[in-house]
Structure formats: structure tokens, C-alpha cells
Amino acid sequence: MIEITIGAISRPMEAKKNKTGDWGTEYPIVDVEKCSGCRSCEMFCPDLCVEVVKENKKKYAVFNYDYCKGCGVCAFVCPENAIRMEVKEIYKLEVE
Ligand code: SF4
Ligand code: SF4
């Protein structure tokens, strides 16, 4: 019998089981006021983990941190400079 190695993709949608959100050292945060809802971040995210939602006529980007690897592409392509990358707490160094 063949064993499947953890992380191997052998069936459609199997990658969803592997939450990759803890791979990165940074994560994106959106400034909802600055966001125009243009969807550039949604289109360019290599991991399909940005969704632009609409709430009370305001559109803004929402991130799925379960799969976001913190690559920063969304922040790079944002024309409104509405996304900033924040270093995760566990990677912040204490300087005395
Ligand atoms: S940091 Fe990278 S993986 Fe995360 S939402 Fe932005 S583009 Fe997608
Ligand atoms: S690219 Fe920037 S302005 Fe456009 S939807 Fe994403 S966060 Fe909003």
C-alpha cells in the first residue's frame, strides 16, 4: 500500500487541508478607509486568499489568514497603498 506524504496533492481540492497561514513571517492588514475595492489584490494573490466584500455600500479587502503565506504581493499591487505588511508577534525581536 502506498503512503501519502504530508503535503502531497493527489486529489482535487486536497490542498485545502494543508493550512499554510503559519508559513510566513508577516501578514497583511487593510486600511478599510483607503481601500477602493478595485480587486487588484484579489486578482494577484497567488494563494487565492483575498476576497473583496461589500458592506453598507463600502467595498474592502478581507484576507483568509488560514492560507495567506505573507508574500506581500497584495500590498505591492495595491494602487491606494491601503495594505501594510505586519511582522507576526513571534518573529519580533526584543531589543533592550
Ligand atoms: S500576503 Fe500574499 S498570500 Fe497573503 S493575501 Fe497578500 S498576496 Fe495573498
Ligand atoms: S488592491 Fe488595495 S484598493 Fe484595491 S481592493 Fe485591494 S486593498 Fe483595496
Could you tell me the distance, in angstroms and rounded to a whole number, from the CA of residue 3 to the centre of ligand 1?
A: 32
Residues whose CB falls within 8 Å of the CB of residue 90, separated by 6 or more in sequence, listed in order: none
| pLDDT for the residue numbered 12 | 76
* Shortest-distance Cα residue to atom 8 of ligand 2: 35
Dihedral (CA of 52, 65, 83, 58) sign: positive
Cβ of 4: how many Cβ atoms within 10 Å? Answer: 10
Q: Mark residue 6 as left, alpha or beta (left: phi above 0; alpha: psi -120 to 50; beta: remaining).
A: beta
pLDDT under 70: residue ranges of the chain: 1-9
Q: How far is the C-alpha of 18 from the C-alpha of 59, rounded, in Å?
A: 29
| pLDDT for the residue numbered 77 | 98
pTM of the model: 0.86
Decide whether any atom of ligand 2 lies within 6 Å of the 84 Cβ: no
Domains by residue range for the chain, with CATH: 19-88 (3.30.70.20)
